Amino acid sequence: MPTKYWIVVVSKDHLARGVEGGFMQANHGKEGPLKKLTAGDWVIFYSPKQTYGGHEPLQSFTAIGQVSDDKIYQHKMANDFIPYRRNVEFYKCEETPIKPLITDLAFIENKKAWGYKFRFGFFEITGHDFKLIRSAMIKGEPIHTKHI
């Protein structure tokens, strides 16, 4: 199966937990988006804000990683919140503002309303767009391979 490329929208503070633990969640822990991923797919994380529920904008790509395996599993975070997760091997990267890249990104069809696409929270992008974002972000080898 060919490699696919994805964008996940998540606040920077929530993303930090995933990077630390070597996992990702999407769309508030829903299983559906994670079923679209296969081992070897690449995921770029976009953070519109610094904190979930906060108002401080960030509008940057904040992490990049590769799906490690084909396991989807649940993790209890609270009695009423047991989100689905996938293992991801994250790479050292630099936080990259989106604005300088907007004109060159094909997935942003309306350059004036560029934020609209991110409202979906999870979507596939082309290899061209992936390479453009990755070249602005990635600076080395995986930071860890910690998996559940």
Q: What secondary structure, in 3-state letters, does 78-137 show?
A: ECCECCEEEEEEEEEECCEECHHHHHHCCCCCCCCCHHHHHHHCEEEECHHHHHHHHHHH
pLDDT band per the 50, 70, 90 thresholds, residue 143: low
Q: Is residue 148 part of a domain?
A: no
Task: Return d(Cα 63, Cα 104) in angstroms, integer.
Answer: 20
Residue 147 has pLDDT above 60, yes or no: no
Cα distances (angstroms) measured from residue 127 to each of 39, 40, 69: 16, 13, 20
- Segments forming the whole domain that contains residue 74: 5-142
Query: What confidence score (pLDDT) does residue 59 get?
Result: 97
Mean pLDDT score of the chain: 91
Query: What confidence score (pLDDT) does residue 29 get?
Result: 82
pLDDT tens digits along 80-108:
889 999 999 999 999 999 999 999 999 99
Mean pLDDT of 131-148: 70
Q: Is residue 147 part of a domain?
A: no
Answer whether 0.85 is exceeded by the pTM.
yes
Segment (H or E) for 57: strand 57-67
Task: Identify whether the C-beta of residue 26 lies closer than 8 Å to the C-beta of residue 44.
Answer: no
Query: What confidence score (pLDDT) does residue 106 get?
Result: 97
Q: Is residue 62 part of a domain?
A: yes
Task: Return d(Cα 55, Cα 125) in angstroms, integer.
Answer: 27
Q: Count up the domains in the chain and report the number.
A: 1
Q: Is residue 131 part of a domain?
A: yes
CATH code for the domain in which residue 103 is found:
3.10.590.10
Task: Return d(Cα 133, Cα 5) in angstroms, integer.
Answer: 11
